[in-house]
A and B are shown apart, each in its own frame.
Chain A
Amino acid sequence: QQQVKQSPQSLIVQKGGISIINCAYENTAFDYFPWYQQFPGKGPALLIAIRPDVSEKKEGRFTISFNKSAKQFSLHIMDSQPGDSATYFCAASLSGNTPLVFGKGTRLSVIA
Protein backbone atom coordinates (compact mmCIF):
# COMPACT_ATOMS: atom_id res chain seq x y z
CA GLN A 1 0.00 0.00 0.00
CA GLN A 2 2.92 2.34 0.58
CA GLN A 3 4.81 1.68 -2.65
CA VAL A 4 5.56 4.12 -5.40
CA LYS A 5 6.84 2.44 -8.57
CA GLN A 6 8.99 4.52 -10.88
CA SER A 7 10.14 3.88 -14.43
CA PRO A 8 12.40 3.86 -16.33
CA GLN A 9 15.44 3.24 -14.17
CA SER A 10 17.60 5.19 -16.61
CA LEU A 11 16.92 7.44 -19.56
CA ILE A 12 19.04 8.97 -22.29
CA VAL A 13 17.59 11.91 -24.20
CA GLN A 14 18.98 14.11 -26.92
CA LYS A 15 19.39 17.80 -26.15
CA GLY A 16 16.15 19.58 -27.02
CA GLY A 17 14.08 16.44 -26.66
CA ILE A 18 11.35 15.56 -24.17
CA SER A 19 12.19 13.49 -21.09
CA ILE A 20 9.32 11.50 -19.60
CA ILE A 21 9.44 9.67 -16.28
CA ASN A 22 6.48 7.74 -14.93
CA CYS A 23 5.30 6.77 -11.46
CA ALA A 24 2.45 4.66 -10.16
CA TYR A 25 1.13 4.47 -6.61
CA GLU A 26 -1.13 2.13 -4.71
CA ASN A 27 -2.45 4.06 -1.73
CA THR A 28 -5.49 6.05 -2.87
CA ALA A 29 -5.21 8.17 0.28
CA PHE A 30 -2.02 9.83 -0.99
CA ASP A 31 -2.74 13.47 -1.71
CA TYR A 32 0.64 15.07 -2.36
CA PHE A 33 2.94 14.10 -5.23
CA PRO A 34 6.31 15.85 -5.54
CA TRP A 35 9.23 15.27 -7.85
CA TYR A 36 12.76 15.71 -6.60
CA GLN A 37 15.96 16.32 -8.55
CA GLN A 38 19.30 15.16 -7.23
CA PHE A 39 22.74 16.00 -8.57
CA PRO A 40 25.79 13.94 -7.59
CA GLY A 41 27.05 14.86 -4.13
CA LYS A 42 23.90 16.83 -3.28
CA GLY A 43 20.72 16.10 -1.41
CA PRO A 44 17.45 15.83 -3.35
CA ALA A 45 15.76 19.16 -4.06
CA LEU A 46 12.08 19.72 -4.75
CA LEU A 47 11.45 20.34 -8.43
CA ILE A 48 7.67 20.49 -8.73
CA ALA A 49 4.68 19.06 -6.89
CA ILE A 50 1.00 18.45 -7.50
CA ARG A 51 -2.14 17.78 -5.50
CA PRO A 52 -4.80 15.40 -6.88
CA ASP A 53 -7.37 18.11 -7.48
CA VAL A 54 -5.60 19.12 -10.72
CA SER A 55 -4.55 16.99 -13.68
CA GLU A 56 -1.54 19.01 -14.76
CA LYS A 57 0.91 21.51 -13.34
CA LYS A 58 3.56 23.34 -15.31
CA GLU A 59 6.58 25.26 -14.08
CA GLY A 60 8.87 26.42 -16.84
CA ARG A 61 10.07 23.40 -18.80
CA PHE A 62 8.80 20.95 -16.17
CA THR A 63 5.26 19.55 -16.20
CA ILE A 64 3.54 17.02 -13.96
CA SER A 65 0.65 15.09 -15.48
CA PHE A 66 -1.63 13.39 -12.98
CA ASN A 67 -4.17 10.61 -13.65
CA LYS A 68 -6.11 9.93 -10.47
CA SER A 69 -8.19 7.06 -11.84
CA ALA A 70 -5.10 5.24 -13.08
CA LYS A 71 -3.14 6.13 -9.94
CA GLN A 72 -0.29 7.39 -12.09
CA PHE A 73 1.67 10.60 -12.46
CA SER A 74 4.51 11.60 -14.70
CA LEU A 75 7.19 14.23 -15.12
CA HIS A 76 7.79 15.78 -18.51
CA ILE A 77 10.91 17.84 -19.16
CA MET A 78 10.56 19.86 -22.33
CA ASP A 79 13.56 21.03 -24.35
CA SER A 80 15.85 18.87 -22.21
CA GLN A 81 19.30 20.32 -21.57
CA PRO A 82 22.60 18.73 -20.49
CA GLY A 83 22.21 20.59 -17.18
CA ASP A 84 19.08 18.54 -16.53
CA SER A 85 21.22 15.41 -16.26
CA ALA A 86 20.50 14.17 -12.74
CA THR A 87 18.57 11.55 -10.83
CA TYR A 88 14.86 12.22 -10.49
CA PHE A 89 12.67 10.78 -7.75
CA CYS A 90 8.91 10.78 -7.58
CA ALA A 91 7.27 10.62 -4.17
CA ALA A 92 3.90 10.58 -2.48
CA SER A 93 2.49 11.21 0.95
CA LEU A 94 -0.53 11.96 2.99
CA SER A 95 -0.57 15.67 3.64
CA GLY A 96 -0.87 15.21 7.36
CA ASN A 97 1.85 13.67 9.45
CA THR A 98 3.43 11.10 7.18
CA PRO A 99 6.87 11.29 5.56
CA LEU A 100 7.31 10.98 1.81
CA VAL A 101 7.44 7.57 0.16
CA PHE A 102 9.91 7.64 -2.72
CA GLY A 103 10.24 5.82 -6.01
CA LYS A 104 13.57 4.19 -6.80
CA GLY A 105 14.75 7.01 -9.02
CA THR A 106 15.51 7.59 -12.69
CA ARG A 107 18.96 8.55 -13.84
CA LEU A 108 18.54 11.00 -16.71
CA SER A 109 21.36 11.77 -19.13
CA VAL A 110 20.83 14.51 -21.69
CA ILE A 111 23.39 14.30 -24.48
CA ALA A 112 24.28 16.98 -26.98
Chain B
Amino acid sequence: ETGVTQTPRHLVMGMTNKKSLKCEQHLGHNAMYWYKQSAKKPLELMFVYNFKEQTENNSVPSRFSPECPNSSHLFLHLHTLQPEDSALYLCASRQLAGALLEQFFGPGTRLTVL
Protein backbone atom coordinates (compact mmCIF):
# COMPACT_ATOMS: atom_id res chain seq x y z
CA GLU B 1 0.00 0.00 0.00
CA THR B 2 1.20 3.46 -0.77
CA GLY B 3 0.08 6.92 0.30
CA VAL B 4 -2.75 7.28 2.78
CA THR B 5 -5.26 4.48 3.22
CA GLN B 6 -8.57 4.56 5.08
CA THR B 7 -10.88 1.80 6.20
CA PRO B 8 -13.71 1.18 5.92
CA ARG B 9 -14.58 3.08 2.75
CA HIS B 10 -18.28 3.06 3.60
CA LEU B 11 -20.00 2.77 6.97
CA VAL B 12 -23.65 2.81 7.95
CA MET B 13 -24.39 2.96 11.65
CA GLY B 14 -27.24 3.60 14.01
CA MET B 15 -27.17 6.37 16.55
CA THR B 16 -26.45 3.95 19.39
CA ASN B 17 -23.59 2.10 17.70
CA LYS B 18 -19.88 2.39 18.40
CA LYS B 19 -17.52 2.19 15.45
CA SER B 20 -14.00 3.24 14.54
CA LEU B 21 -12.43 4.68 11.42
CA LYS B 22 -8.84 3.79 10.63
CA CYS B 23 -6.21 5.71 8.74
CA GLU B 24 -2.70 4.60 7.86
CA GLN B 25 -0.02 6.58 6.09
CA HIS B 26 2.95 4.95 4.38
CA LEU B 27 4.82 8.19 3.69
CA GLY B 28 6.92 8.60 6.81
CA HIS B 29 5.05 11.77 7.75
CA ASN B 30 4.88 13.09 11.30
CA ALA B 31 1.58 14.99 11.22
CA MET B 32 -1.87 13.51 10.69
CA TYR B 33 -5.29 15.13 10.47
CA TRP B 34 -8.98 14.29 10.44
CA TYR B 35 -11.28 16.38 8.24
CA LYS B 36 -15.05 16.24 7.86
CA GLN B 37 -16.45 16.98 4.43
CA SER B 38 -20.15 17.64 3.99
CA ALA B 39 -22.25 19.58 1.52
CA LYS B 40 -22.80 22.43 3.97
CA LYS B 41 -19.17 22.86 5.13
CA PRO B 42 -16.85 21.35 2.54
CA LEU B 43 -13.60 20.71 4.44
CA GLU B 44 -13.68 21.12 8.20
CA LEU B 45 -10.52 20.38 10.14
CA MET B 46 -11.42 18.27 13.16
CA PHE B 47 -8.21 17.08 14.82
CA VAL B 48 -4.49 17.65 14.43
CA TYR B 49 -1.75 15.32 15.57
CA ASN B 50 1.87 16.43 15.42
CA PHE B 51 4.45 13.82 16.37
CA LYS B 52 1.61 11.67 17.81
CA GLU B 53 0.46 14.48 20.11
CA GLN B 54 -2.93 16.08 19.66
CA THR B 55 -2.34 19.78 19.15
CA GLU B 56 -5.70 20.92 17.90
CA ASN B 57 -9.34 20.07 18.48
CA ASN B 58 -11.62 22.38 16.55
CA SER B 59 -14.63 22.31 18.88
CA VAL B 60 -15.50 18.79 17.86
CA PRO B 61 -18.24 17.10 19.92
CA SER B 62 -17.05 14.47 22.37
CA ARG B 63 -18.91 11.76 20.47
CA PHE B 64 -15.85 11.86 18.17
CA SER B 65 -12.72 10.58 19.88
CA PRO B 66 -9.39 10.45 18.05
CA GLU B 67 -6.46 8.18 18.80
CA CYS B 68 -2.94 8.24 17.40
CA PRO B 69 -0.96 5.23 18.69
CA ASN B 70 2.04 5.92 16.45
CA SER B 71 3.08 8.27 13.68
CA SER B 72 1.64 6.00 10.97
CA HIS B 73 -1.81 5.28 12.35
CA LEU B 74 -4.77 7.44 13.24
CA PHE B 75 -8.18 6.35 14.46
CA LEU B 76 -11.48 8.13 14.90
CA HIS B 77 -13.75 6.43 17.41
CA LEU B 78 -17.43 7.14 16.98
CA HIS B 79 -20.24 6.72 19.51
CA THR B 80 -23.82 7.92 19.83
CA LEU B 81 -23.61 9.88 16.59
CA GLN B 82 -26.36 12.03 15.15
CA PRO B 83 -27.76 11.97 11.59
CA GLU B 84 -26.08 15.34 10.94
CA ASP B 85 -22.73 13.61 11.44
CA SER B 86 -23.25 11.82 8.13
CA ALA B 87 -20.40 13.00 5.90
CA LEU B 88 -17.18 11.99 4.20
CA TYR B 89 -14.39 11.70 6.78
CA LEU B 90 -10.96 12.34 5.34
CA CYS B 91 -7.59 11.57 6.84
CA ALA B 92 -4.51 13.49 5.71
CA SER B 93 -0.82 13.59 6.54
CA ARG B 94 2.17 15.78 5.88
CA GLN B 95 5.78 16.23 6.91
CA LEU B 96 6.19 19.09 9.35
CA ALA B 97 8.78 21.79 8.71
CA GLY B 98 10.28 19.88 5.83
CA ALA B 99 11.15 21.00 2.34
CA LEU B 100 8.10 19.22 0.93
CA LEU B 101 4.90 20.82 2.17
CA GLU B 102 2.38 18.68 0.34
CA GLN B 103 -0.51 17.36 2.39
CA PHE B 104 -1.75 13.99 1.22
CA PHE B 105 -5.32 12.83 1.65
CA GLY B 106 -6.78 9.37 1.91
CA PRO B 107 -9.85 8.35 -0.10
CA GLY B 108 -12.17 8.95 2.82
CA THR B 109 -14.82 7.00 4.70
CA ARG B 110 -18.39 7.74 3.66
CA LEU B 111 -20.36 7.64 6.93
CA THR B 112 -24.12 7.43 7.09
CA VAL B 113 -25.83 7.70 10.48
CA LEU B 114 -29.38 6.42 10.56
Given A34-B102, A93-B101: A99 and B45 within 8 A (CB)?
A: yes
Indicate with 1 or 0, residue by residue over A70-112, a CB within 8 angstroms of chain B CB atoms. 0000000000000000010100010111011110110000000
Closest residue on chain B to residue A45 by CB atoms: B105
Cβ–Cβ < 8 Å partners of A102 in chain B: 42-43
Judge whether A43 and B102 touch: CB under 8 Å.
no
Judge whether A97 and B31 touch: CB under 8 Å.
yes
Indicate with 1 or 0, residue by residue over A44-69, a CB within 8 angstroms of chain B CB atoms. 11100100000000000000000000
CB distance from B111 to the nearest CB of A (A): 14
Judge whether A99 and B102 touch: CB under 8 Å.
no
Count of A residues near B, CB < 8 Å?
Answer: 22
Count of B residues near A, CB < 8 Å?
Answer: 25
Bound Cα distance A99, B47 (Å): 10
Judge whether B102 and A46 touch: CB under 8 Å.
yes
Q: Which of B43, B45, B50, B92 contacts A105 (CB 8 A)?
A: B43
Sample (23) of A-B pairs whose CB atoms are under 8 Å apart: A34-B101, A43-B90, A43-B107, A43-B108, A44-B90, A44-B105, A45-B105, A46-B102, A46-B103, A95-B101, A96-B96, A97-B50, A97-B55, A97-B96, A99-B33, A99-B48, A99-B94, A99-B103, A101-B45, A102-B42, A102-B43, A105-B42, A105-B43
Extra contacts besides A41-B110, A46-B104, A101-B45 (17): CB < 8 Å: A32-B101, A34-B101, A41-B107, A43-B4, A43-B90, A44-B43, A46-B103, A49-B102, A89-B42, A89-B43, A93-B101, A95-B97, A96-B96, A96-B97, A97-B31, A102-B43, A105-B43
